Amino acid sequence: MRTLHIIGASLWRGITAAYPLILLAIVWEAVARLGYVRPVFLPPLSAVFAQFWPLATGGDLVQPLLVSLYRAAAGLALAIVLGVAIGFLMARMRVVRWLLDPLIAFSFPSPKIAFLPIFILWFGIDHLAKIALVAFTCVFPFIVAAYAGATTVPTHQLWAARAMGTSNLGLLRRVVLPASLPSLMSGVRVGVPYALVTAFTAEMVAGGGGLGGEMVLAQRYFETPTVFVYLLIMLATGYVIDLGVLALRRRILRWHEG
Amino acid sequence: MSAPAQTTPAQTLALPIWALHSLSRLTPFVLFLAAWQGLAKSGLIDPTFLPSVSAVGHALIDLGASPSFYTDLAVTLGRSLGGLALGAAIGIPLGAGMAVSRKIDGFFGPLVKATYSLPKTALIPLLLLWLGIGSATNIVAVMFSTLLPFVVYTYHGIHGVPQLLTWSARAMGTPQRRLLWKILLPASLHAILTGLRLALGFSFVIAIAAEMIAANTGIGKLMFIYGESGAYDYMFAAVAAVVALAYVADRLTVVISNRLLRWDDVENRLG
């Protein structure tokens, strides 16, 4: 009885907190149902939900989502490996820092999407061009995060580890990498949404499947409910993945006070 | 001649050190371009895939002499800055309202949370349905993408204003309305300007992406026209122009922001 009461109370709290969203949904449905806008511009919300099932069973939902996620994940993985390597090298070696710092400072604010035509020229219009663009977009936050993380390691810790006979590689693995983890996780928090957005955007521009590509196709055929379904799927994907990143961060950084 | 009467040793040294520093910062660019030119001319790579620096340079000079290139550049810049201005005009008051009023926060907070993870480029196909191909779609897409950085940074900026400041102002009899203008907004200016810098970056990305998806004008469209017609040196030149433009815009934002923040603590300056 008591638990039921608590569940009821928290449910009520959830509903009251989300009331603007519920209101929005009701207004949307009403405006579309009452015929104030043509359904090709704004189909009723119920029509959008009704579109989920045919898309899902027709393989037009999970398949494109997996393609987009694969591109985002592959690009992100590439960005992490390259970014961490470059960031650590910059922290360790003056020459590398001198060489790369001005180039990175110059490229950081540039809209990376502008490089898509170049990547299409180099890698074609399939997976590789999109993965390259995702990696190129996400590598910069990771370079900065890895560099910032590696430079926070107190010099006496490096000396102590060395004095106890830790090798160069061991130093990286046992001291620098753990010390940089908080900073790197902040990089992940920034990089993951960038990776998703970039993958979707690249697909919209260059086609070649994925949620972005399918969405632009649906728009060209004026299948507005389908456009909304993809929009909602993108929104949900971003939301779920962000929650996942936060959970991962809590797990990895349990030992860290921040 | 009214030359400075005295120059301290530090002053005479200042110029060479400054010059040496920028020379040292510029050298990597020279090395990068030299490596690119060497690679392109070595014959290891098909020149179609990597036009040489000199070819891209020639294309850039050619573009620099053609008025239509500036028109495309201006169209894209106008769309991104127009959308950015709209985003600021709506986002800053909204963020401030959410920070000072529980009611406004209660209504817009869930909406902001719900749309935060939406890739804003996903709105472009929808806007194309509603507004058709053209600047309107582009500007509205930029507006939506820059809205959230303004809202979030203004909101957190005002929440970060030390209670001491608001209490002191209140104790001295400042009314609620003046509190916002005289205390809360100035004290959160550095946060809002950080949001502006972030939003500026988004605005270029969205404007160019929207042009690449569907447009008849603008630099994003131009790149694809060059790419499709095989004029790769011109394509590279257009990319270089965009990168340079974005860099200059970002630096200008930082310089202007720091000028506006002269009175503020040094740690609140933008990097």
3-state secondary structure chain B: CCCCCCCCHHHHHHHHHHHHHHHHHHHHHHHHHHHHHHHHHCCCCCCCCCCCHHHHHHHHHHHHCCHHHHHHHHHHHHHHHHHHHHHHHHHHHHHHHHHHCHHHHHHHHHHHHHHHCCCHHHHHHHHHHHHCCCHHHHHHHHHHHHHHHHHHHHHHHHHCCCHHHHHHHHHCCCCHHHHHHHHHHHHCHHHHHHHHHHHHHHHHHHHHHHHHHCCCCCHHHHHHHHHHCCCHHHHHHHHHHHHHHHHHHHHHHHHHHHHHCCCCCHHHCCC
Whether the pLDDT of residue B12 is over 70: the answer is: no
Flag if B125 and A218 touch (Cβ within 8 Å). yes
Of residues A99, A110, A204, nearest to B121 (C-beta): A204
- 3 state SS of A253: coil
Query: CB–CB of A20 and B111 under 8 A?
Result: yes
Clarify whether residues A123 and A220 are in a common domain: yes
Look at residue B1 in the predicted model and tell me its pLDDT. 41
Are A68 and A112 within one domain? yes
Lowest mean pLDDT of A15-24, B31-40, B148-157, name the range. Answer: A15-24
Both tokens of residue A121?
Answer: 């020229």
CA A43 to CA A31: how far, in whole Å? Answer: 9
A137 plus A233 within the same structural domain: yes
For residue A64, give the amino acid letter: P
Q: Are residues A119 and A82 in the same domain?
A: yes
Q: What average pLDDT does this structure show over A195-209?
A: 92
- Say whether both A29 and A64 belong to one domain: no
Q: Is the pLDDT of residue A84 over 90?
A: yes
The pLDDT of residue A11 is 78
What are the angstrom distances between the C-alpha of B82 and each of A134, B88, B230?
27, 10, 32
Interface check B67 vs A, CB under 8 A:
no
**Averaged pLDDT score across all residues of chain A:** 89
Using the predicted structure, report yes or no on whether residue B4 has a pLDDT greater than 70: no
163-202 in B: which are within 8 Å (CB) of A? 201
pLDDT tops 70 at residue B159: yes
d(CA B211, CA B133): 9
Answer whether residue A258 is part of any domain.
no
Sorted by where each begins, the domain ranges of chain B are: 60-268
Residue with tokens 């990068």: B32
Same domain, A25 and A76: no
Please indicate if any CB of chain B lies within 8 Å of the CB of A99.
yes
How far does Cα A43 stand from its chain's mean position?
Answer: 29
A15 pLDDT higher than 80: no
Cα(B210)–Cα(A166) distance, integer angstroms: 52
B259 at A interface, C-beta within 8 A: no
One domain, residues A157 and A111? yes
Dist. CA B259–CA A12, nearest whole Å: 49
What pLDDT shows up at residue A170?
81
Number of H helices, E strands in chain A: 12, 0
Instruction: For residue A175, tell me if it sits in a domain.
Output: yes
Handedness of CA B48, B54, B55, B59 (dihedral sign): positive
Smallest Cβ–Cβ distance between B129 and the set A41, A230, A241 belongs to: A41
State whether A101 and A229 are in the same domain: yes
So what's the pLDDT on residue B15? 65
pTM, 2 dp: 0.88
Q: Which of A84-98, A123-137, B158-172, B225-239 bottoms out in mean pLDDT, i.e. has the lowest? A: B158-172
What was the pLDDT predicted at A256?
65
What ipTM, to 2 d.p.? 0.86
Q: Which tens digits make up the pLDDT trace of A169-184?
A: 788 888 888 888 888 8
Q: Based on the fold, state whether residues A21 and A65 are members of the same structural domain.
A: no
Find the CATH number of the domain harbouring A192: 1.10.3720.10
pLDDT tier for residue B185 given thresholds of 50, 70 and 90: confident
CA distance A41 to A98: 54
CA distances from A164 to A41, A150, A174 (A): 69, 20, 13
Residue B128 CB: number of other CB atoms within 10 A? 22
How far apart CA A138 and CA A145 sit, in angstroms, is: 11
- Please tell me the class of the B60-268 domain: mainly alpha
A224 touches chain B (CB under 8 A): yes
* In a domain? residue A48: no
DSSP one-letter string for A98-120: HHHHHHHHHHTTS-GGGGHHHHH
Residue A77 lies in domain:
57-252
Query: Which chain A residues have a beta carbon less than 8 Å from that of B208?
Result: 111, 113-114
The Cα-based distances of B5 to A244, B8, B134 in angstroms read: 65, 10, 60
- Determine what percent of chain A is predicted with pLDDT higher than 70: 97
Query: The tokens of B147 are what?
Result: 């809205």
Radius of gyration of chain A (CA): 23
pLDDT digits (tens, 9 = 90+) for A132-173: 999 999 999 999 999 999 888 888 888 888 888 888 778 888
* Cα distances (Å, whole numbers) of residue B73 to B39, B211, B220: 30, 12, 9
Find the CB nearest A219 among B28, B125, B212.
B125
Tokens 């000028």 found at: B259
Percent helix, strand, coil in chain A, to 5, is 85, 0, 15
Tokens representing residue A95 in the block: 């020459």
Query: How close, in Å, is residue A150 to chain B by CA atoms?
Result: 20
Both A90 and A24 in a single domain?
A: no
Cβ atoms < 10 Å from Cβ of A13 = 10
Q: How many separate domains does chain A show?
A: 2
Q: What percent of chain A has pLDDT over 90?
A: 53
Residue A43 covered by a domain: no
Phi and psi at A135, nearest 5°, equal: -60, -45
Query: How many contacts does A have with B, using Cβ atoms within 8 A?
Result: 138
The mean pLDDT of chain B is 88
- CB under 8 Å to A207, separation ≥6 — which residues? A125, A213, A216, A217
Per CB-CB distance under 8 Å, the chain A contacts of B246 are: 109-111
